[in-house]
Structure 1
Amino acid sequence: MDDSTLSLVLFSGTDDKLNAAAVLAVGAAAMGRKVNVFLQYWALDAFRKDRIHEDHGLAPEAGPRGEEAFRKHGGQHWSEIFRQAKEVGDVKIHACSLSMETLGLTLEDLDPLVDDQEGVASFFMDADGPVTFI
């Protein structure tokens, strides 16, 4: 089994992409892999504690049919899937320092799912395998 770290860079803040990232994270954590998530810009904004449960829409390519399918399916909110991932394994969620500064955020503005704030160099130092961008 591959025991390298699953390193995810999340840029998009749409519900479908955040859901996809959460499913990857919980799957890897359940298999015993370390997971390292780096939140940038709109993904970081979605983790604000005052709007984490708001509707963040879907990616434009989903279109009306994709939106209908996503809403019909229901299922758990992506934030709950990330919570499960953290309960199951070694999952760390980091806020990008530059994105925090750009958006005028502090760690207190973010949901407790976010462990800390770090720069890109620190993120890459922890990445011991490929990096997946979502």
Structure 2
Amino acid sequence: MSAPTPDRRIAPSILIVDGDVITRHAIADYLRHCGYAVVEAASTDEAMKALPEPSLGIDVILCDVAAVGEQSAQELSSWVRANRPELEVRLASTVEAVADTAAELCESGPNLARPYEPQAVIDYVKQLRATRDRATAA
């Protein structure tokens, strides 16, 4: 798991949970190039180890629905919703029906299709930041 020191004032920090190392590295590199702090996890187990670490400053979790580990992606999402409700979870899948079911479980709205469209991830994070900025200003 790689963990840069994020500056949350600049951009949200994103935790990518994906067992496919090529996919995970590709989206992580793209996001870093766009100025985002990124933490990578190859499994839900690695993700669970990163979540309690406040210095990582994770704001958004992008998790493959098929991520491996002791917990499924849906269980990870449920745990986050119960224990870290300030975090946003976005699940991704190559199977639309699975992504839709996961969306209902994590209540995160529309989810992402794999292979990831990097701009879709960037658009989502920008939307999240704008929503949070409006909430803070109110």
> Which TM-score band applies after superposition, normalised by the shorter structure?
0.3 to 0.5
Larger RCO (CA within 8 A; separation ≥ 6): 1
Q: Normalising by the residue count of structure 1, what TM-score does the alignment of the two structures yield?
A: 0.46
